[in-house]
Amino acid sequence: MKRISYLGPEGTFSHEALLKYCGNSKEIISIPMPTIVDVIKSIDKGEADEGVAPIENSIEGSVNITQDVLTFESEAKIIRELTLPIKHNLIAKKGVKIKNIKKIISHPHATAQCRMFLSANLPDAEIIAANSTAEAIKKLTNLEPDAAAIGTKTAAQLYDLEIIADDIEDSKVNKTRFIFLGSYIPSKSGLDKTSIVCFLKKDKPGSLFNILKEFADRNINLTKIESRPARKEIGDYVFMIDMEGHIHDRIIYDAIESLRRNVYMIKILGSYPVWDEKS
């Protein structure tokens, strides 16, 4: 049996990502965790064989806590990725009408992503923050009927609640990229991505250029580059880079080895199959 941890409780988007990957497989033991940090650390501690965590949203951008823990606090490796369309639903107890709702409970990101719907339909409703959309729906079961929550269809089904408005998100192309974490580098699939972090020796003119030049000279396509604070002085940063190709491809391996001469350290976050949007 494979143990896979995810950001809980049941009914979160992380849980939906896990279900999309494994379906109702009897070979999977799913383990809900209270925080993203706990999900990632569960790999280091051997509490789970794999973990699922969000790393990037098409509206909100990168999930900084996921990036930072992988960079500074964990040896877990990205072993696959999965992109999930984010569909928000207004959920309430059965029989409740939208005109009677006075309170909305959800994660702040969810309420922000449904701003136009809430402004048009529930402009006077009190907004109450929760740690996750699933937690919001779980709490809803103990609230008065004038409360509603924003969350997933999975959570509504789990707690026997009713969806009174579906697909209420402002952007219909809202997606979140999830990563599955493990303790190994998967074999080449033929269509792969490699993620690394570059730690600079010191900040000086041309530092970023020297990094990018190693990839440009080899015609390696970078799909993402982002800076994060290096947890030192203000102005010190690390660079997080995603590139097309596998670490065991000669051209990728050579680029990274050449790059080591110009930086203090390179950390390999993973080398894994690219997500097929048709899946």
pLDDT of 122 higher than 80: yes
Work out the pLDDT band at 8, boundaries 50, 70, 90. Answer: confident
Give the domains, in start order, of the chain with CATH numbers: 2-85+174-182 (3.40.190.10), 89-165 (3.40.190.10), 192-273 (3.30.70.260)
Tell me the pLDDT tens digit for each residue of 84-120: 999 999 999 999 999 999 999 998 889 989 999 999 9
d(CA 272, CA 189): 8
Tell me the pLDDT tens digit for each residue of 79-89: 999 999 999 99
170-194 burial, b for 16+ CB within 10 Å, e for fewer? eeeebebbbbbbbeebbeeeeebbb
Token pair listed for 78: 């990205």
What was the pLDDT predicted at 120? 96
Tell me the pLDDT tens digit for each residue of 225-266: 999 887 777 767 899 999 999 999 999 999 999 998 888 899
The bridge status of strand 192-199 relative to strand 265-273 is antiparallel
Work out the pLDDT band at 44, boundaries 50, 70, 90. Answer: very high
Longest dimension (CA), the chain: 66
Positions annotated as catalytic residues are: 176, 178
Amino acid sitting at position 134? A
d(CA 163, CA 145): 14
pLDDT of 203 higher than 70: no
The bridge status of strand 162-165 relative to strand 89-92 is antiparallel
Q: How far is CA 232 from CA 73, 90, 200, 217, 235, in A?
A: 15, 43, 12, 31, 8
Measured in degrees and rounded to the nearest 5, phi and psi for residue 250 equal -55, -40
What was the pLDDT predicted at 131? 82
What was the pLDDT predicted at 261? 84
Work out the pLDDT band at 279, boundaries 50, 70, 90. Answer: low
d(CA 70, CA 56): 14
d(CA 7, CA 238): 26
d(CA 185, CA 190): 14
In what helix (H) or strand (E) does residue 254 lie, and over which residues does it extend? Answer: helix 250-259
Token pair listed for 263: 């930086």
Work out the pLDDT band at 4, boundaries 50, 70, 90. Answer: very high
